[in-house]
Amino acid sequence: MNILGRNSREVRDRVGDPGQIFRIDKFVSDDGPARGSRVIRLASGGALEVELHPDRALDIGRVTYRGVPIAWLSPTGFGAPGLAEHLGDGWVRTWGGGLLSTVGLDSFGPSGTDGTEEFGTHGRIGAQPATVTRCEITDSQLVVEAEVRQATAFADSLRLTRRVTVPIGESRIIVDDTVVNDGPDPVEWMILYHVNLGWPLLDSHTDIRIPSTDGSERLEFGEPIAEFQQSVVQFVLPEGEDTVTVHNPKLDVALSLKYSVETLPWLNTWRVPQRQRYVMALEPSNTPSVAGRLAARASGDIATLESGASSSLRLEFLLDGC
């Protein structure tokens, strides 16, 4: 631990309560659509504050770095999971945005039905309440761990175990996930991480750099426009590359997203430059199909987890000046 040039012992010699510098706060929302929902707030002592939502699969909501908001927030707010609409396009009615929205595990992309089962837009996992199994401050980091289940009585039984780590004195967020098939049968599964970035990090002069097999890509976003437009572009990062960078030179703030390309080989960018919907998402995924579960199955792109098998995934966010 190093905060403002001081080691752990020196920091503790200078404060009465370490919570003056770094802490974990837990509270419950008491009003509006989020009423009754749990929130865990982490302050790293490294100019980083992070809000986690245990009732939303321990996803990441608001994030600030040096007081600068990083994540895009939806006008719906973070509604309590009991308000979630899992079928059709109901996902967007309670999707609050935030830095990280987990999408899947049954499907991502548009809704559809195979004649016996309906799959809603972007799946069910993101509205499943988590069981928090650890919430601890160690000598070097803030750690929150949880389990999230996506299961039915006689079909799929998937378990997502998640660990969120914020090193003390740093501006990093590390998300380690493991998806396990606890059921007796093989299960088709899809996962996509919706990393939602907004103003002021995202602006007309923001530099977005994505290494790709076609050469390094540099994306621009532009000024807000009146009409609704959205675009999705897919990338495959070249061997040895695993980091995407979004840099606002006027703020001197950059976000780098590093992820496990072995288990998340594809990266989509989703951009909506409309006024009041000014958002870009970076979306690592385990399948190239963004047209829903049925399309992924038809194209042979859907992944399968055998009974008892697991898949490990990692995202690392670094916030810094450049």
- pLDDT digits 0-9 by tens, 72-116: 999 999 988 888 888 888 888 889 999 999 999 998 988 888 777
Torsion sign over Cα 283, 175, 211, 217: positive
Q: How far are the Cα atoms of 69, 96, 195, 240, 243 from residue 28, in angstroms, in the given order?
A: 22, 16, 24, 42, 35
- pLDDT digits 0-9 by tens, 188-205: 999 999 999 999 999 999
Nearest residue to 208 (alpha-carbon basis) of 295, 8, 216? 216
Phi, psi (degrees; rounded to nearest 5) at 62: -65, 140
Q: Whole-model pTM? A: 0.95
The answer to whether residue 295 scores a pLDDT higher than 90 is no
- pLDDT digits 0-9 by tens, 13-70: 899 999 999 999 999 999 999 999 999 999 999 999 999 999 999 999 999 999 999 9
Phi, psi (degrees; rounded to nearest 5) at 296: -65, -40
pLDDT of residue 304: 94
The answer to whether residue 119 scores a pLDDT higher than 70 is yes
Phi-psi region of 245 (alpha: psi -120 to 50; beta: other; left: phi over 0): beta
Q: Hey, which CATH number is domain 2-320, 3.30.70.1520, 3.40.50.11540, 2.70.98.10, 3.40.50.1000?
A: 2.70.98.10
How high does pLDDT run on average in the chain?
Answer: 92
